[in-house]
Amino acid sequence: MKRKLLITGGAGFIGSHVVRLFVNKYPDYQIVNLDALTYAGNLENLTDVKDQPNYIFEKGDITDESFIDDLFEKYQFDGVIHLAAESHVDRSIMDPLAFIKTNVLGTAVLLNNARKHWKDKMDGKLFYHVSTDEVYGSLGEEGFFLETTPYDPRSPYSASKASSDHFVMAYYHTYHLPAVISNCSNNYGSHHFPEKLIPLAIHNIKNNKPVPVYGKGENIRDWLFVNDHARAIDTIFHHGKIGETYNVGGFNEWKNIDLIHLLCKIMDQKLGRPEGTSAQLITYVKDRAGHDLRYAIDATKLNKELGWEPSLQFEEGLEKTVDWYLENETWLNHVTSGDYQNYYNEQYQKR
């Protein structure tokens, strides 16, 4: 095998798209997907690649030091693409320590093992840390997040991701660990766990349930199709400059309420309902604590230096996403049972 890669969190939303892309595009790379299969990890996301000869799944926890040490010993990785994380802001407000454990300690355990196993020859190795634009905090009506924007995280989730980013750069500067970071805006697309805004709204509209909109729905997010993020990760992994950060985003800002109205319109068309039917499900609920007003990424560096650009317009991507959810009812039924139900009751019923 030409390369031996560890991809963490490969059973999650973005990770499964990254695994699929790498397994199919690079048959001469051995891809080891390490995932703890938390509520957010689902091997059904990868049924199409599970039998490929260059793909291996390992179940385990990134915070488990001896397990990670053994894994590096067993596979002799020369690259890591690290996506495993607790990723939902609302869950981080309920249980911040779980985020500190996985996102901060877990990243540190991986970095430490990369350092240990690569210490004799750092050349040709790469630790790629996948992070979020939320580390930059919240924007007002003007401006964009640049790679040079100071970190200003405001939720337990973004604070834990910011901390993990700092550890990555600390290992780069202190131990010369070859590392790169990307900070991406909100993703949408297939296989997205239906507690995040877009899949939750699709699921609820389909089932004629209220679509919860926090506050006045005026918060703004910058949405990128998940396959475009996976392409960006491929580009940065192969061509990014060691020690650098790249912002990834689609120059695609939407107020939550406008996005939900667009989604309602698409759903009415797809479900053959009279226009305006789904919008009646919109329900304003109590705002998220510390709700960041606006995220907006300036992805010029990635475009100018590495030639990446998003491939899809939002309306087209959203329609593809809706089609996928409507065609994959079994997937949705499987992930909406169990822990998700408990979370959903706690998050919404008490409002």
Catalytically active residues, by annotation: 133-134, 157
Among ligand TYD, ligand NAD, none, what binds residue 9 when CB lies within 5 to 8 Å by partner kind? ligand NAD
CB 38 within 8 A of CB 60: no
- Matching residue, tokens 């495993």: 84
CA–CA separation, 301 and 307 (whole Å):
9
CA–CA separation, 183 and 96 (whole Å):
21
Tally of CB atoms within 10 A around 307: 9
Q: Does 228 bind ligand NAD (CB under 6 A)?
A: no
**Site map (CB under 6 A) of ligand NAD, residues 109-138, x = contact:** ---------------------x-x------
Among ligand NAD, ligand TYD, none, what binds residue 221 when CB lies within 5 to 8 Å by partner kind? ligand TYD
Judged by CB, which is closer to ligand NAD: 119, or 334? 334
Tell me the closest approach of the beta carbon of residue 120 to ligand NAD, in angstroms: 27
CA–CA separation, 90 and 68 (whole Å):
29
| Contacting ligand NAD within 55-84 (CB under 6 A) | 61-63, 83-84
Among ligand NAD, ligand TYD, none, what binds residue 61 when CB lies within 5 to 8 Å by partner kind? ligand NAD
Among ligand TYD, ligand NAD, none, what binds residue 14 when CB lies within 5 to 8 Å by partner kind? ligand NAD
Among ligand TYD, ligand NAD, none, what binds residue 15 when CB lies within 5 to 8 Å by partner kind? ligand NAD
The binder of ligand NAD chosen from 184, 232, 236, 259 (CB under 6 A):
184
Tell me the closest approach of the beta carbon of residue 254 to ligand TYD, in angstroms: 9
Judged by CB, which is closer to ligand NAD: 84, or 114? 84
> What sign results for the dihedral spanned by CA atoms 308, 44, 211, 321?
positive
CA–CA separation, 55 and 50 (whole Å):
7
Determine the residue with CB nearest ligand NAD. Answer: 12
CA–CA separation, 299 and 310 (whole Å):
10
Q: Assign residue 5 a region (left: φ > 0; alpha: ψ between -120 and 50; beta: otherwise).
A: beta
Among ligand TYD, ligand NAD, none, what binds residue 200 when CB lies within 5 to 8 Å by partner kind? ligand TYD
| Contacting ligand NAD within 10-39 (CB under 6 A) | 11-15, 35-38
CA–CA separation, 192 and 183 (whole Å):
19
Burial string for 114-130 (b: 16+ CB within 10 Å, else e) reads bbebbeeebeebbbbbb
CA–CA separation, 218 and 165 (whole Å):
29
* Residues in contact with ligand TYD by the rule CB under 6 A: 89, 186, 196-197, 200, 212-214, 219, 221, 256, 288
Per DSSP, what are the bridge partners of residue 75?
none
CB 51 within 8 A of CB 78: no
Q: Does 85 bind ligand NAD (CB under 6 A)?
A: yes
Binding site for ligand NAD (CB under 6 A): 8-9, 11-15, 35-38, 40-41, 61-63, 83-87, 102, 106, 130, 132, 161, 184, 186-187, 193
